Amino acid sequence: SSLAGTLGLGKLVVLYDSNNISIEGNTDIAFREDVGRRYEAYGWQVLNIADGNDIDAIEAAIEAAKAETTKPSIIIVKNQIGFGCPAKQGKASAHGEPLGAENVLAMKENLGWKTEPAFYVPDEVYTNMNEHLEKGGAKEAAWNELFSAYEKSYPELASEYTKWMSGEIDKEALLNNEELWSFDKEMATRDSSGIMINRLAALIPNFIGGSADLAPSNKTYMAGKGDFSAEDRSGQNLHFGVREHAMAAIANAMYAHGGLKVFCATFFVFSDYM
């Protein structure tokens, strides 16, 4: 499995958990590729950690990854699944089965962890978390102060921003709008869909989307709304290229972030690529 995050502006660092275990047994039964060599072939920086318990080595690797500014980095960390549990450590059963009360107790005793209370959280965790809460609270207060000043200077834009970020739309303009839902003849669904997309684009200012290189075919292009690009951020038509999976990831991320009403499209036969 992998966990990706951005560490530093524009810098991608992936931590790859290499424990050689799947639910059915050792990964060798189905997966024998050299992950490090594959990522080297992609042009990534590849760093290796021999022991996932070596926190200092992991921290040093992350710093080394951040220092490499010309390529993304993957840190391959060797781990033992179920580490610390005498009966389960390094075994597939630690992946697909619960440890059980006896094994949890044995693991705590083996690792020198408090057995009572059942869910013990050290005071250091609370102290560290409270520090982050204070920093986060200060950043939020600074943002609120900034937005308050913006609201006074640009009340109309601030109101529109608030509506966009809350997900509000003018439901009356959509529901009680006979013209929006009116079609005067039968047509292919991609044609009626294209008409609806353009009608919605005229009513929803933060509507944005596109298709994986299929807009002329599945009628997803919004007329007069421009093309989004590095040079023109005001365009509402997104061109993803022949990349259904990337398109779905981008659209889902935009939706999760909020602020924009996003759609994407492809042919039904290509939907499994998403």
* Amino acid (1-letter code) at residue 152: K
Which residue reads 């690009």 in tokens? 229
Q: Which strands sit side by side in the sheet containing 12-18, from one edge to the other?
A: 2-6, 12-18, 73-78, 45-49
Q: What are the beta bridge partners of residue 6?
A: 12
Which residues are catalytically annotated? Answer: 244
- Cα-based angle 41, 44, 45 (whole degrees, multiple of 5): 120
Q: Which are the contacts of 68, defined by CB distance < 8 A and separation ≥ 6?
A: 45
